[in-house]
Amino acid sequence: MSLRRTFCAIGLLTTSVTPVFAATYGPELQGFKYPYPLKHFNFQSQGQSLQMGYMDVPAKGSPNGRSVVLMHGKNFCGATWESSIKALSDAGYRVIAPDQIGFCTSSKPAYYQYSFQQLASNTHQLLEKLGVQKATLLGHSTGGMLATRYALMYPEQTEQLAMVNPIGLEDWKALGVPYLTVDQWYARELNVSAEGIRNYQLNTYYVGRWKPEYERWVDMYAGLATGPGRKRVAWNSALIYDMILNQPVYYEFKNLQMPTLLLIGTSDTTAINKDIASPQVKARIGHYDRLGKQVAKLIPRATLVEFTGLGHAPQMEAPEKFHTALLQGLNAL
């Protein structure tokens, strides 16, 4: 049986966007400053020596003996969890925020067979190295799909599961979203620009409301995508998009047995390839005001928390409201 709570978004005003030209960063985001010390986990995977960047932040408040692993989204990085890391650490949690292979400060292999299982296995190896035997998972966007896969693979190591506007609440391919080859994705990713990122995030993530602090994340993403490693970054991004579209977790939500918290900004309209879908398909997908409720019914021990009027990243739009709900939810599960 699912439980549901609703938080209304008030006092959020539309703000004009002043474009800022992005810097450029190295292929592993060299030059971009992370909010906490960045460490690296070196390991072997698919015959290659790879490294994962990660932050491991101890409890700042009274330690509660619990760990939270943060899983970032497709167009996000571990750094974008900055306010959530602080809130969780202040509340007594140890917080581990890795960058997955192919993203941000981690390796961009020339070839990698991407799967959510592989990324979950990589993360599990990292946690074993850090001595974390059991953890709460908090996944945002694509990180929600990864957190779901991790929880299904390692249920004994997953104390709780929490997801913030996860993608994968519907199977876009089955609903008729057009297929793109990896080569087509690669061509699209080579054309990424700061202006395009900003406009997409404004309309999809923030429901037309912009704040100056969002510009840092545009700079981060655009600086990586247009920097000296742009071709390697674009290629890995293309492979990851192919993974997302072809490896749905939707059909396995019913198998999640751990307490699960769904944190949903109801005005989110995220749906990959919606821009090239037919009008009929476009009208059917990306409605988080309905998707959150539907998936909460599929997950046996789900609690749904809705943020009315917020978009794809409520933890960034309304951090105080979001973190109050997150901490209450984790304590109640």
> Are 139 and 119 in contact, with CB atoms under 8 Å apart?
no
pLDDT tens digits, one per residue of 105-127 = 999 999 999 999 999 999 999 99
Side chain identity, residue 103: F
Task: Report the distance separating Cα 317 and Cα 12, nearest Å.
Answer: 9
Q: What is the pLDDT of residue 333?
A: 72
Instruction: Give the strand pairing for 135-140 and 260-265.
Output: unpaired
What's 3-10+34-176+252-332's CATH class? alpha beta
15 has pLDDT over 50: no
CA distances to 197, 216, 220, 227 from 22, in Å: 11, 9, 8, 10
* Closest CA relative to residue 25, chosen from 81, 85, 123, 99: 99
Q: What is the pLDDT of residue 6?
A: 56
Q: What is the pLDDT of residue 90?
A: 97
| Domains of the chain, residue spans | 3-10+34-176+252-332
pLDDT tens digits, one per residue of 170-197 = 999 999 999 999 999 999 999 999 999 9
Chain centroid offset of residue 220 CA: 15
Neighbours of 147 (CB within 10 A): 29
Q: At what angle do helices 215-225 and 230-246 cross, to 10 degrees?
A: 110
pLDDT tens digits, one per residue of 3-12 = 556 555 444 4
What is the model's pTM? Answer: 0.94
